[in-house]
Structure 1
């Protein structure tokens, strides 16, 4: 007999939002609760990010992208969890500074550790969790069969009670010394890095320095919808928002199906570029700028604000847009389409 049983794996969800940006955004302190800025912060650990925009807009921000804004420095380091909360490392990077770290491991399978915004997050299997003696919460498994129980433990290391000698902190120190004492590979990024890095605590762990620089790719003769604020609908059926997201993903993949000279047999593929607001399509040269590495939300925010300043500086109606497509280490992703200086379309896939 054939096994047609239903798969027990969870299905992914995609949330779509159309928001309006305010007239003025403070580049130094943008809103953390409004989209797309809340979306940037919701995904702290990114491995690949694509900026998609018309070639004319790219030329306006090319010099800035080649500078400090478009570059991210990070490191790969081999150290134990106990070394993260050691006195010098803990004081310099967590209490005084601001870093982000992500350990090796597969989420849902291995023990995975992360540190962002001063919050240390431990995702542990049940045997390790019971041996640690820490207080955490079970991870929801959706009632799937044969799914081993897992737990998450969080510590706000910037809390005044998180100090050496305090009872709660010493429980974490004990767990790091007696249970979580293996040296593992981490990705490390200092969000407040200064020019002088000659005597920082990370250097004694022999980090391997990495660079996540932008790589531009010219995409010639691309069929694009006429994207203007006037062409955007006020109500989005699920099919309309999904087709626009699909189009952005095809650009990110540099698919030949969106090229104006594509001549594939319609029997094999009948894909058509979405027509937004019945405004027709244009043939444009686009540019995909890609970052690959350990990327922070701050880089995505800075790139968004930089491109937002140049929107509307082109010559044609269809030039007033750009898009971001960002993929996280643990499977999440989001896409942001900015049309003009006001309309922001956001897709969050979880």
Structure 2
């Protein structure tokens, strides 16, 4: 684990680094899902944004820009999800992903959020709503609250159980909580895993459905100072600073910062950043040097499923033999993010950020 962040009484974000030498793959069907760095791609069911950095001379940005994915934005109360055609078609028998915006109640300052993954409805709410709902859940310790304080609770309901039907005692109890406590329209992001997107003319989604399409955007970056990262990097004490600086450079490249461009002139009062020279040898401290390259940044934003991210990484891996690329992925909440750098020597460097 890399030591990133200032000393504080509050919990600091954690960054776990790993490195592995990738095997040679000729087809996407050969790609694993449980080995590093592939398991990072499936560490969450969906993500918010994804950025691919690669030399402009490669064709990676062309393959990503042609990728397509559709999702829907729904506007409906929680009760509508648990009754009618939507419940029977998408929850009891289908396979969908749902992510909600916070439900804020006008009468109080309470709020709740909801997710649905593999038929499991997860409700996160404060103590007041939890006690009013009367459903069994678990406390979520809040590291930013006072000692021994628990400000939120999580309720998990497996809606695919045979007992989750109208007329059953347990299900009717859930409906009463929804009708009396979790009341109000909610905005949802919806993805149908069974249909690999959103099926056309799906009336169960309601009248206020908006079909969204993920449209990757490309941006060319000229005269970028790129640190050399061909060396066999590890997490030993001599190279930990190099790993932190390399992650910082990738993050700056992802936002096309002028600090990494050749000829950048900025007052030292504003910024003292310099592109790092990564050590290629931990013994003599030799450097791999800095080169000037033209890069292409391809960004996709929306409701990105893990399969979409995995397909992007797999296509980039198959097409980048002898070259490098970096993939940055950001989740919706909890600070979940990861970065994977594949260098020209077929080595994958991975940073898994939490918090």
In 2, are the aligned partners of 1:79 and 1:205 still within 8 Å (CA)? no
The residue correspondences of 1:123-134 to structure 2 (distance < 5 A) are 123-134=124-135
Task: Note if 1:280 corresponds to 2:289.
Answer: yes
Aligned pair count?
333
Rounded to whole Å, the distance in 2 between the matches of 1:198 and 1:217 is 32
After superposition, the Cα gap between the structure-2 partners of 1:106 and 1:172, relative to the gap in structure 1 and judged at 3 Å, is: closer
2:210 corresponds in structure 1 to 208
| Contact 1:113/1:121, CA 8 A, preserved across alignment | yes
Residue 352 of structure 2 is aligned to residue 343 of structure 1:
no
3-state SS of paired residue (1:88): helix
Distance apart, 1:160 and its partner CA? 4.4
TM-score (norm 1): 0.84
SS at 1:349 equivalent = strand
Distance across 2 between alignment mates of 1:196 and 1:334: 27
Counterpart CA distance in 2 for 1:275 and 1:20 is: 22
Contact 1:46 1:294 (8 Å CA) reproduced: yes
CA RMSD in angstroms comes to 2.9
Which structure carries more helix by proportion? 1
Alignment of 1:261-276 (within 5 A): 261-266=263-268, 268-276=270-278
> Residue 155 of structure 1 aligns with which residue?
157
* Partners of 1:9 and 1:144 within 8 A in 2: no
Mapped contact 1:124–1:151 kept (Cα < 8 A): yes
**Structure 1 portions without partners, runs of 5+:** 1-5, 314-319
Q: Report the CA distance shift for 1:128/1:34 in structure 2 as closer, same or farther (over 3 A).
A: same
**Residues 1:88 and 2:85 aligned together:** yes
The secondary structure found in structure 2 opposite 1:65 is helix
* The 10-residue stretch of structure 1 (36-45 or 130-139) with the greater mean CA deviation from structure 2: 36-45
The two structures have a TM-score, normalised by structure 2, of: 0.83
C-alpha separation between the residues in 2 aligned to 1:76 and 1:144? Answer: 33
Per-residue CA deviations over 1:244-288 (Å, capped at 9, x if unaligned) read 110000001111111122233456533222223121121111111
Q: Which residue of 2 aligns with 1:222?
A: 224
Structure 1 266/240 Cα, relative in aligned 2: closer, same or farther at 3 Å? same
Which residue of 317, 322, 332 maps to 1:308? 317
1:324 alignment partner, one of 324, 327, 351: 327
SS in 2 for 1:293: strand
